Amino acid sequence: VVVVVVVALRLPWFSVLAILLNCAEPESITMALKQLHADSELMEMMNIQQKGRRRVLLGAYANRLTPVAKDWELSSSDGPQPMRSDLGPKDYLSYAQQWTNQYHVQLLGGCCGITPKHIALLHKELSSSSSSTTTSP
């Protein structure tokens, strides 16, 4: 992930507005954000100020699906991936608060299985604590 982002940021003809982590377990999104922030060169490139704001925004849009087995194959699938029962709106809010506070994520939303109730709680709790975070369905 980091190598692709660094290459894209260096291309003079390519404008990166945001890095969006989408349709993954919240734990995987947290690991990806940690990896991005561990690269000081990347963070410096992302934080170059343009018109008073961060040059490249970060976004997180997790899903609520159960983990997919490493040996999973479509031919052996007998139905849709089940939803997790341990990721209600308050649980998702905890991840989102970590992402916004620790990793400075500015764009939040949800993917498969994240419901309007999840997004409503994010909006309620995070918009009152920070005007720089945007929630989207």
Question: pLDDT tens-digit profile of 103-128?
Answer: 999 999 999 999 999 999 999 999 87
Sheet holding 57-62, edge to edge: 18-22, 57-62, 107-110, 134-135
Joined tokens for residue 9: 């940021």
**How many angstroms separate the CA atoms of 109 and 122, rounded?**
8
H-only helix segments in 47-115: 89-103
Residue 86 DSSP one-character state: S
Looking at per-residue confidence, does 128 or 40 come out higher?
Answer: 40
Mean pLDDT of 34-59: 77
Joined tokens for residue 125: 């709790």
Mean pLDDT of 90-106: 96
Q: Of 2-11, 44-53, 56-65, where does mean pLDDT reach its minimum? A: 44-53
**How many angstroms separate the CA atoms of 55 and 76, rounded?**
44
What pLDDT shows up at residue 78? 86
**How many angstroms separate the CA atoms of 25 and 36, rounded?**
17
Residue 93 carries which side chain, given as an amino acid letter? L
pTM of the model: 0.82
Instruction: Tell me the sheet residues that pair with 57.
Output: 18
Cβ pair 100, 130 in contact under 8 A:
yes
